[in-house]
Structure 1
Amino acid sequence: MTCLADGLAFGPGLTVAARSAASASRLVVPENQDNLLLIDASGHAVRLYGQAPLRTRVAGWPAGHVRLAVLDGMGGHGNGRQAAEAVATALLDVPACRTLHELSSRFDTLHAALQARFRQPGDADTFRRPGTTLTLLEIAPGQAPLLYHVGDSRLYEVTADVALPLTIDHVPATGYAMHGMLGAREWWQQVHGEHRPQIAQAFILGNAFANPQVLDDGLRALDPASLPPFLRQMADRRALALRPDALYLLATDGLWACREPLPWLARWPRLLSDGTASVNEALDGLFHAWTNNPPPQLYIDNMTAIAIRFSGRNIDQTALPHSILTTFC
């Protein structure tokens, strides 16, 4: 399987692999509405365009800076692939960011500009406006990676013990939890124990957190002030504390799209955390298992992932503890 990161150089202490596939099904091959963006430490970049890799060079990109993102165009809406392509392409023009404030400001401005480009009369009422998830890491030399997250793609931290989600899905269940209508265990079961394709916020689309029947144009960053206590440590926009023994995975929801995702996710530590395997081998193993030994009742969906291993830089020993799972289970 071709690694989309081949030929890119991410600098010392950072190794990256990336894959994207239309589906794990051998019978049905839908349009791949996923996308991704890789910008390496010298400004060389890869994204998908027309479902194929497209390589370019970002002029003036600062040495050592890295940007990694996965996107999942909304398949239930028109132009899902085009929306994801538009965002991936536009991210090439967003200058490298070193602070959360700059990252949030620039990407929220981009959301508004692309929303205006894709807007059609009446789309706020019928939800026909296209959208895409965007889960992104901005990695400046010598700094903790910055997370920017919209939608229901995820960032996972995978060790020998557990695959731990570090992002909150922007789905109706999260809105109910924010309004005190769901507790920790109920939220965990609905979001991670089942596969529900509904979404409450996406890039370009906007958000429906305040009222599920009304689509607001702007993005709502889920921060500690708006989240229930059991979710506050997973705010959408934050600096990440990393574990030196972990592999990090940016992924779209096609990689857990089955009726009962938790038993499948429990296999990830064995598939991904072998310290002797390269990130290429680890990611190949995950895709091979999903295709050849999938969980029962697999849903047909696009699947895209970026595997990242940090060593010797950007490491913070105060990483999110795995005991967070005891909150939910």
Structure 2
Amino acid sequence: MRLMLREIYALSDTGPVRTQNEDMYLAAGNLGREDRFEVSVADDQPLLVAVADGMGGHPDGEIASRRALELLDEARSNNLLPDQASEHADFTHILSGIHDNLVGGADSGHALKMGATMVGLWLPPGEPPMWFHAGDSRLYRWRDNVLEQLTNDHTMVNEMLRSGRDPGGVSPHIVTSCLGGGMFKPTVDTASASGPIQPEDRFLLCSDGLTEAVSDQQILSILGSGTAQESAEALVQAALTGDARDNITVVVVRVTE
């Protein structure tokens, strides 16, 4: 049986406005901020990628995003991630544990500030993809020139829209779920694909710094062409030349034969 490769490229940029980068990415065991990382992993090996967007201002956001991803990668190293797609809900408990750790690890002066959103993609061998998120960092899948957003933002605006209310005047930056950040219990959404990954599938994990500046139509066009590196770099550049106001972090996973 011929193996497929997952070509991964991760890139994080402070952006043109902020002075500190509170985003962080996790890609195949590598944590990064304000840099880039590239690796290819065969599909007979497990692969975990994730993005965390820190909240609360420097240094609280930097601490929270790093710690959240460190704890997630520890769970992977300790073989605590689900082996089967039907068990994707296990990520609810894993992220809830990370939340508790962030809350318990913050001193009284920082406990209400130190938080992070998170989105992750887990690809165990022989199983359909699984994903999970808390907050407004997103996961997209590009397949056959169709872009699908696989996560629903945990924001006040999105909650109001889904309940049929007018969000006029409500800030799009208010999140209704995060890890830490003084939240009592985070909302964690988990899911799995109905089938296996396919050649030329492309996944994008990103912080809201990208999606606030780059439209889905632009993402569709950019993600569907070139290598993982070319797509990641073009996405960040599109945000920088657009109206980026926040840190920008992307992880692109391209499946090749």
Cα 1:251/1:195, change in 2 over 3 Å: farther
2:151 pairs with 1:167: yes
SS of the residue 1:133 aligns to: strand
How far does residue 205 in structure 1 lie from its aligned partner after superposition?
2.2
Q: What is the rounded CA distance, in whole Å, between the counterparts of 1:121 and 1:37 in structure 2?
A: 28
Number of the residue aligned with 2:135: 151
Contact 2:131 2:190 in 1 (8 A): yes
Cα 1:265/1:100, change in 2 over 3 Å: closer
Q: What is the rounded CA distance, in whole Å, between the counterparts of 2:60 and 2:14 in structure 1?
A: 16
Pick 1 or 2: higher relative contact order, CA cutoff 8 A, min separation 6.
Answer: 2
Cα 1:308/1:195, change in 2 over 3 Å: farther
Q: What is the rounded CA distance, in whole Å, between the counterparts of 1:197 and 1:302 in structure 2?
A: 13
In structure 1, runs of 5+ residues without a counterpart are 1-10, 40-44, 55-62, 208-216, 222-235, 313-329
Q: What is the rounded CA distance, in whole Å, between the counterparts of 2:90 and 2:245 in structure 1?
A: 37
Cα 1:272/1:181, change in 2 over 3 Å: closer
Decide which moves more: 94-103 or 28-37: 94-103
Number of the residue aligned with 1:265: 216
Q: What is the rounded CA distance, in whole Å, between the counterparts of 1:268 and 1:101 in structure 2?
A: 28
How far does residue 162 in structure 1 lie from its aligned partner after superposition?
4.6
Cα 1:107/1:289, change in 2 over 3 Å: closer
Runs of 4+ in structure 1 off by over 6 angstroms are none
Percent of aligned positions that are identical: 22
Contact 2:4 2:199 in 1 (8 A): no
Number of the residue aligned with 2:254: 309
Number of the residue aligned with 1:33: 22
Write 1 or 2 for the structure with the bigger share of strand: 2
Q: What is the rounded CA distance, in whole Å, between the counterparts of 1:105 and 1:239 in structure 2?
A: 16
| Matched length | 239
SS of the residue 1:267 aligns to: helix
Number of the residue aligned with 1:47: 31
Contact 1:70 1:134 in 2 (8 A): yes
Q: What is the rounded CA distance, in whole Å, between the counterparts of 1:200 and 1:78 in structure 2?
A: 22
Decide which moves more: 247-256 or 11-20: 11-20
Cα 1:48/1:283, change in 2 over 3 Å: closer
The one-letter code sitting in structure 1 at the alignment partner of 2:186 is L
How far does residue 300 in structure 1 lie from its aligned partner after superposition?
1.8
CA RMSD in angstroms, aligned pairs only: 2.9
Number of the residue aligned with 1:201: 177
Q: What is the rounded CA distance, in whole Å, between the counterparts of 1:90 and 1:243 in structure 2?
A: 30
Q: What is the rounded CA distance, in whole Å, between the counterparts of 2:252 and 2:110 in structure 1?
A: 40
2:124 pairs with 1:140: yes
Q: What is the rounded CA distance, in whole Å, between the counterparts of 2:115 and 2:18 in structure 1?
A: 21
Bigger Rg over Cα: 1
Q: What is the rounded CA distance, in whole Å, between the counterparts of 2:50 and 2:180 in structure 1?
A: 16
Cα shift readout 1:161-182 (whole Å, capped 9, x = no counterpart): 453311111111333356x343
Q: What is the rounded CA distance, in whole Å, between the counterparts of 2:152 and 2:58 in structure 1?
A: 22
TM-score w.r.t. length of structure 2: 0.80
Pairing partner for 2:207 from 242, 248, 252: 252
In structure 2, runs of 5+ residues without a counterpart are 38-43
The one-letter code sitting in structure 2 at the alignment partner of 1:138 is W
